[in-house]
Structure 1
Amino acid sequence: MSPRRPIVLFDLFGVIARHQRPGSMDEMAALSGAPADAFAAAYWACRPPYDAGRWTAPQYWTAVLRRLSLTAGPHTIEELRLTDIDSWSRVDDRMVAYVQSLRDVAEVALLSNIPADHADAFLSAQPWLRHLDHVAFSGRIHAVKPDLAAFRHCIVAMRAAPADFLFVDDRDENVRAAQAAGMDGHVFTRLDELAAVLDTWLPVR
């Protein structure tokens, strides 16, 4: 039996990057002219096809506004788009450093649910991502976690076996899906706990 090829596959938001900036949903609601609660419901209800790359940003925002019985011109839609991108732009610098350090002992990859235009902005702002062994964004691969197709994409793209992967995500349903695809999985809560898991999981050098 050949030795396991260690690949640590990370989620982005809630692990390496922060969740959405507090207050940004209210800001976008104000731009749209909708009440905050109704706006948030429409924002999330319309998100899956945008995350999966089936809708462009203008199509997504038009659908959100239509759900709210509102319309807006191109300028407002672009304001909403840019505010949305900015709201997801923060990273945890300690996690970024840790992820980069792992490349000395394993291959490191990323699998994130993120629209294609958000992915472009994130790559521009965080060039270290380009040095990972593989980066898979849902808006580009047209598969959204916890769909097994998202995990299979990484397996095929990296020419690896499912058992080579440890998938790290802050959402239990995504970790369960990775395990169903044959990967090991860890539900992320904090860095020190993850480091302890990896100390055990990584092969002895």
Structure 2
Amino acid sequence: MPTDRHIVLFDLFGVIARHQRPGALEKMAARCHAPTEAFTTAYWACRPPYDAGQQSAPEYWTAVLRWLSRSVDADTIEELRLTDIDSWSRVDARMVAYAKSLRDVTEVALLSNIPSDHADAFLTAQPWLRTLDHVAFSGKIKAAKPDPAAFQHCVVAMRAAPTDFLFVDDREENVRAAQAIGMNGHVFTGRDELAAVIDTWLPTHR
């Protein structure tokens, strides 16, 4: 049943953080001595278990290298891992400031598809995330969007009802998955549009 709470649940990449750094896939492909297109296919095809915490970083990169029929060694894996983490490290300063400002008027949480080691690095670089009411990383909770279990984790962890949430993501399939379990949803296209949606969704007097 509704608890009369209002929780803005943010996605990370494409909303608060930038998408992958341009040129990163080409750089990693070159390190593997592989064509960029082939590397990109392997990178994404092998990714789901890593994002969902079912594989470690070495297991993921071993799968990528074997997909490409490349030799597997610890130095290559570590270089790829660090390059990959760096490629996802950029934030949108304006959105960071907006997310932080919302905590003056409502609860704010985060649900991101991100491997466990990436999450650790991101938290170190962005310690303000620890001030949010809840932070859920797929690699830590063992469930990745659009799996309903990822959204249910947030409901249970925050002792809330699905209808208490407004989930904000730049991917429509994830927003639809959140709505399917009863959350409110918004497909993110920009800060100003989102601010208008949130202002309408929140009670007038807090």
Pairwise TM-score range, normalised by the shorter structure:
over 0.9
**CA 1:75/1:7 → structure 2, altered by over 3 Å: closer, same or farther?**
same
What's the counterpart of residue 86 of structure 1?
86
| 1:15 alignment counterpart | 15
Q: Is the 8 A contact 2:66 2:72 kept in 1?
A: no
Runs of 4+ in 1 over 6 A off after TM superposition: none
Aligned to 1:169: 169
CA offsets 1:139-189 (integer angstroms, 9 cap, x no match): 000001000000000000000011100000000000000000100000000
1:107-118 mapped onto 2 (5 Å cutoff): 107-118=107-118
Q: CA deviation at 1:66?
A: 0.3
- When normalised by structure 1's length, the TM-score is 0.98
Q: Could you tell me how far apart the structure 1 residues matched to 2:47 and 2:72 are? A: 18
Structure 1 letter corresponding to 2:204:
V
Aligned to 1:68: 68
Deviation sequence 1:35-94 (CA, Å, 0-9, x none): 100000000000000000110000000000000111131111100000000000000000
Supply the AA of the counterpart residue of 2:86: D
Normalized against structure 2, the TM-score is what? 0.98
Amino acid at match of 1:25: L
Q: Tell me which residue corresponds to 1:180.
A: 180
Q: In structure 2, how many angstroms separate the alpha carbons of the residues matched to 1:162 and 1:71? A: 47
Q: Note the aligned Cα RMSD (angstroms).
A: 1.0
Partner of 2:99: 99
Find the counterpart in structure 2 of residue 38 from structure 1.
38
Structure 2 letter corresponding to 1:153: H
- Identity rate, percent: 77
